[in-house]
Amino acid sequence: MKSMTKLMVVAMVLAAALVVAPVAARSISISTSGTTVYVGEENLNFGSAFGTAPVTQLVHYSDPTAGAIDKTILADASGNITELTKAAIGTTTGPYYVFNASGSPTDRATSTGYVNIQNPQATLDVVLDANRQESVNAKSITRATPVAFKLTNNLNGLAGTGSAMQIEVTMPGGGVTTNFGQNLKGIVVNGATVVKGPVSLTNAETGTYTAIAKWPSGTDFYGKGFDSNTVTFEVSSKALTLTSNKDNVVRGNSFTVTIAGESLKTYQMYIKQEGSLAASEYPWIVAGQN
């Protein structure tokens, strides 16, 4: 049966990570209709694609055909939006039509284009480096198995802006590092999946580790609740263990045996013959188990 022990990563603080200056989410004007912008972005300004007159508002329709408006975001006198806040957008994401003073929000046809507003999403996982697919979240792994950090995101709208996150690993003793077998700072997020590995655990301290991808200070999304999920894993020093949930077993009653070993390895378990028991008298393993 295949075994995956609970994963625990040892925190090894290696050479100091390169210092990467944080980059704001958007440093250019939004000049193309259909551009994706994200909740939390600041200082949004609109370019030539939206007409010569300043933009006055962004409008979302619950029923575009009927002109039924359910959300309006106002711009300042210069056509800029200081910040797209969570409070202003709520759960109403998707196309927002752009209007200037000559347009009427009750008539969608008078808009000068639209932007696609989305919540920024980043999902972190720690995976086996051997296949970079099998997650070790909430599991345990031995020091002999390398792992990798895998970060996915929906931030294709930020491609070319240099927007970056960093992965912070909290070690068993409580210390936090961004250099854990790999430099985990300055990870560019542009819609592509980023994998940082392999991470060797050969000299890792045993214990439980927690990892999270965060927006650094100075970026538009810093401190606004857009960091990734957390991943917890454990590093174990024992390569192979066999445990039972009962010290003594009674014929006719069930018991559980747990094998913990190297990930993606196959182990065989058998029951040693004792005396002259008939084959039907030996315990048997229920099929279909992990």
Q: Which amino acid is at 77?
A: A
Architecture of domain 2-23+121-236: Sandwich (2.60)
Q: Which amino acid is at 154?
A: N
Helix (H, G, I), strand (E, B) or coil at 249: coil
Helix (H, G, I), strand (E, B) or coil at 138: coil
What's the pLDDT tens digit per position in 160-188?
Answer: 888 999 999 999 999 999 999 999 999 99
What's the pLDDT tens digit per position in 228-244?
Answer: 999 999 998 877 888 89
pLDDT, position 238: 77
Domain boundaries, the chain: 2-23+121-236, 41-118
Span of 35-39, 50-54, 155-159 with lowest mean pLDDT? 50-54
pLDDT, position 28: 55
Structural contact between residues 44 and 212, judged by C-beta atoms closer than 8 angstroms: no
Confidence of residue 6 (pLDDT cuts 50, 70, 90): very low
pLDDT, position 8: 34
Sheet strands (E) in the chain: 2-3, 36-38, 42-45, 55-63, 68-74, 80-83, 94-100, 114-118, 122-128, 139-142, 147-153, 164-170, 176-177, 187-188, 194-199, 207-214, 230-236, 241-244, 257-260, 265-266
CB-based contacts of 84, cutoff 8 Å, min separation 6: 37, 38, 39, 40, 41, 44, 73, 117
What's the pLDDT tens digit per position in 60-110?
Answer: 999 988 889 999 999 999 889 999 999 999 999 999 999 999 999 999 999
Structural contact between residues 67 and 111, judged by C-beta atoms closer than 8 angstroms: no
pLDDT, position 1: 42
Q: What does pTM read for this prediction? A: 0.79
Helix (H, G, I), strand (E, B) or coil at 59: strand
What's the pLDDT tens digit per position in 254-287?
Answer: 999 888 887 778 888 887 777 788 877 788 888 8
Dist. CA 28–CA 118, nearest whole Å = 18
CB-based contacts of 178, cutoff 8 Å, min separation 6: 17, 166, 167, 168, 169, 184, 185
The answer on pLDDT for 44 being more than 80 is yes
